[in-house]
């Protein structure tokens, strides 16, 4: 009373699924189904039957060849996945390296820009200090010349006043002497 599912498809020939003891086994799992499609955990007799069917099928050469093809395909897929993973890792590492190089370049450029700005600031400050010193020296020289001219004018004026006073005193003395001489002459008996 066993019916192994053929369904008219040669791929499913000699399969380990189908009806046994009024229960349907789908080919996987621990459950069989009754005619009302209710699930039941399989009993020992059903388990032994379906495991024996599975073992019988696995011993068949055409099934083994099919499984070998599947295993080879799986191996090729596994190799392809490993190759893809290796490529992804390599691409990731290359991106990481490129990113690191880009970051290093950016940091180096930023450092160079900072250094250039610092040098320019120092040069500008140095130039400003030099200009201020030159301006201060120029102003000091101008002030000294101006002071020297002012002092020279003052000295000339003072000298001129002194000369005027001296000349006046001399004139006054001379006039006094003349006056005295003239008085003496007038007062002198002849």
CA distance 133 to 126: 10
Around Cβ 63, how many Cβ atoms within 10 Å? 15
* pLDDT attached to residue 122: 95
Domain borders along the chain are 2-59
Question: For residue 27, which of 60, 53, 7, 1 has the smallest C-alpha distance?
Answer: 53
b/e sequence 5-44, b meaning 16+ C-beta within 10 Å? beeeeeeeeebbbbbbeebbbeeeeeebeeeeeeeeebee
In the 3-class helix/strand/coil scheme, how is 4-40 assigned residue by residue?
A: ECCCCCHHHCCCCCEEECCEEECCCCCEEECCCCCEE
Span 11-68, pLDDT tens digits: 444 557 788 888 888 877 888 999 998 999 989 898 888 888 877 766 666 656 666 6
What confidence category does residue 9 fall into, taking pLDDT thresholds of 50, 70 and 90? very low
What's the rounded Cα separation, in Å, for the pair 66 and 182?
A: 168
């Amino acid at each position: 009373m066993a019916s192994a599912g053929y369904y008219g498809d040669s791929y499913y020939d000699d399969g380990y699924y189908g009806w046994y003891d009024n229960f349907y086994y789908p080919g996987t799992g621990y459950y069989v189904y009754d005619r009302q499609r209710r699930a039941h955990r399989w009993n020992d007799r059903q388990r032994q039957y379906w495991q024996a069917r599975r073992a019988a099928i696995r011993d068949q050469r055409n099934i083994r060849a099919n499984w070998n093809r599947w295993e080879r395909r799986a191996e090729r897929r596994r190799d392809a996945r490993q190759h893809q993973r290796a490529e992804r890792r390599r691409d990731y590492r290359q991106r990481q390296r490129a990113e690191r190089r880009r970051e290093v370049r950016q940091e180096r450029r930023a450092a160079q820009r900072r250094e250039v700005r610092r040098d320019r600031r120092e040069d500008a400050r140095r130039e400003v200090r030099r200009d201020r010193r030159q301006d201060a020296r120029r102003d000091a020289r101008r002030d000294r010349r101006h002071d020297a001219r002012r002092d020279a004018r003052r000295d000339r004026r003072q000298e001129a006043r002194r000369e005027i006073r001296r000349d006046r005193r001399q004139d006054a003395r001379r006039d006094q002497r003349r006056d005295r001489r003239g008085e003496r002459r007038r007062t002198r008996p002849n």
